[in-house]
Chain A
Amino acid sequence: MPRHSIFDIMGPIMIGPSSSHTAGAVRLGRMVKTILGRKPTEVLIKLHGSFAETYHGHGTDLALVAGLLGLSESDPEIVNSLALAAREGIKIRFETVDLGQEVHPNTAIFLSTLPGGEVVQVTGHSTGGGSILISQIDQFKVALTGELHSLITQHQDEPGVVAAVTKILAEHRVNIAFLSLSRTARGEIALMTLEADEPIPQAASEAIRRVKGVHRVRIVPALK
């Protein structure tokens, strides 16, 4: 089988001008929207590297905001995204930052304020051809591409939590493709990111929410 579908070659159908700086940026914004799970009141977007240098001409800023609003990379409304965000009552600000040479050139950091004042920080990269990678959520390192269905839990770092979560997924016939764990310190807050081949059913996420020691559950469906 050729590795690429003919529609990876003849496609995607997208708003120009750049698959990495425009289409990929829309997908990044859409991932952040799903990670947040709720409409933010305010988002500060920090642009680094090539994103910072060329965002205006590539419409990277418009594309990131379009994604935050849930638009697809082929939606002609992308050019109006700043006005659409204003209408939805989301305050958007941009900053250009220099995170250093080691950081991927197409990087955006989203600082989103949710109703109630909680701030969620998400770092993402556009890795070429419309592909993306979310590398950090708050203080936790993650690796989410949007290719598979993801589950993110924030939980107490104690024995049995991970086992309880994976047992629930097994009961719902969800196959885990990738799993990673990180924590702030031993016995403190841990973050599990898990990518699965199947969509994670509502019943499973509700059961996981009830697991002792789980503080928060986020479901991030695959982007395509």
Chain B
Amino acid sequence: MKFKFNSAAQWLALAGKTGLDLADVVLRAEMESTGASRDQILEKMRQSLVVMRSSAQKGVHEPVYSRSGLTGGAAHTLAQAIAAGKTLTQGLFAKAALYALSTAEVNASMGRVCAAPTAGSAGVVPAVILALEEELGLTEDAVVLGLVVAAGVGQVAAEYGELVGAALGCQAEIGVASAMAAAGGAYLVGVDWQGCLDAGALALQNLLGLVCDPVAGYVEIPCIARNPSAATNALTCIELVKAGIRSPIPLDDVLLAMVDIGKRLHPDLRETSRGGLAITPSGRRLAEACAARSCPRKRESHE
């Protein structure tokens, strides 16, 4: 039997036909295409989880600064506020925001991350999965399967378009990351298969149209703050589907919309830093300050 799937609808149909769950269908497809065993695939995913845990924690314990000097220390600041009981939300939402922020800062500091689906959006999936693990006391085996489901959503999304800001805008990075996290998270809290994919559909729908307009061309402003925002968006969507709310537009159609919108986005809003936040007065000032800071090394390397 072939476990090939190119769309969310096919994925769901395969699960329905075989009686396997969403994670198992993804695993079977991976086994077919790579020849690896189920255990080998799960072990490799476990290694990704190790990297995710480490990048989600690093910024909590110490302020982490980017190489450009544009950003840093936000996760540490938020961690202190949480510890002091000064945050608006506690538990799941605060933790997810914290882990997403830490991972995004570690990425900007040239630390090690697991891209999910990209480096710039690497904080979203681990934040949701790890916050759920802690708050609900999930086992590591379960968490790894949650990551497999999240990866399945990414696989489907990649069938529709190239998941890079330069091609389809930020929606294809942070939006898809949020959809992956929402579906993986919904799976972990026991939502039915259709509901898991609907969580993904809702999460991406909320972030459609998001442009890629990074200040000075760095994966920092607004990328870092978008990670916690997309993580909590995913949690909100999980909350909705858990209550039985469904997405009127299914994931496949939301992905079609993402590609349609992405193709219509002006190139100035697709990772060129020629529009949006990048060309605001403050965006330009930050870029200039950043260029001035990097000048000494530029001179050094020209010698």
Residues of chain A touching chain B, judged by Cβ–Cβ distance below 8 Å, are: 1-20, 22-23, 50, 53-54, 56-59, 61-62, 74, 76, 78-79, 92-96, 128-129
Contact = CB atoms under 8 A, between A and B. Distances in A.
A88 to B, nearest CB: 17
Contact of A128 (B5, B51, B120, B166): B166
A4 B67 CA distance: 31
A17 B65 CA distance: 12
B107 A16 contact: yes
Contact of B112 (A15, A53, A56, A95): A15
B112 A74 contact: yes
Contact of A11 (B30, B48, B220): B48
Nearest to B4: A1
Interface stretch (B134-142, B153-161, B204-212, B232-240): B153-161
Nearest to A47: B301
Contacts of A62: 110
Contacts of B108: 16-17
B118 A19 contact: yes
A172 to B, nearest CB: 23
A179 B8 CA distance: 38
Interface of B: 2, 4-6, 26, 29-30, 32-34, 41, 44-45, 47-48, 51, 66-68, 70, 106-120, 122, 125, 147-148, 150-152, 154-156, 158-159, 162-164, 166-167, 180, 216-220, 290, 294, 297-298, 301-303
Contacts of B109: 16-17
A199 B159 CA distance: 30
A57 B48 contact: no
B119 A16 contact: yes
Contact of B218 (A9, A17, A79): A17
A54 B33 contact: no
Contacts of A59: 67, 110
A16 B111 contact: yes
A162 to B, nearest CB: 34
* Majority secondary structure of chain A interface residues (helix, strand, loop or mixed): mixed
A166 B70 CA distance: 54
Contacts of A3: 158-159
A56 B44 contact: no
Given A2-B29, A6-B26, A17-B119, A54 B218 contact: yes
A202 to B, nearest CB: 26
A84 to B, nearest CB: 15
Given A1-B32, A17-B219, A57-B294, A9 B158 contact: yes
B178 to A, nearest CB: 14
Contacts of B166: 128
Contact of A10 (B6, B114, B162): B114
A14 B302 contact: no
Contacts of A18: 119-120, 219
Closest 6 CB pairs of A and B: A16-B107, A57-B68, A9-B154, A56-B294, A6-B151, A54-B217
A53 B217 contact: yes
Contacts of A17: 66-67, 107-110, 119-120, 218-220
Contacts of A128: 162, 164, 166-167
Contacts of A6: 26, 30, 41, 45, 148, 151-152, 154-155
A117 to B, nearest CB: 22
A56 B122 contact: no
B302 A13 contact: no
B301 A61 contact: yes
A50 B165 CA distance: 14
B21 to A, nearest CB: 15
Contacts of A8: 158
B148 A76 contact: no
Contacts of A1: 2, 4, 29, 32-33
Contacts of B68: 56-57
A78 to B, nearest CB: 7
A78 B297 CA distance: 17
Nearest to B147: A10
B112 A57 contact: no
Given A14-B119, A129-B162, 19 more contacts: A1-B32, A2-B33, A2-B155, A3-B159, A4-B155, A9-B154, A10-B154, A12-B114, A13-B47, A16-B110, A17-B67, A19-B118, A20-B164, A23-B119, A54-B218, A57-B70, A57-B220, A58-B67, A93-B302
A9 B155 contact: yes
Contact of B115 (A2, A12, A57): A12
Nearest to A50: B217
Nearest to B3: A1
Contacts of B156: 2
Contacts of B152: 6
B48 A56 contact: no
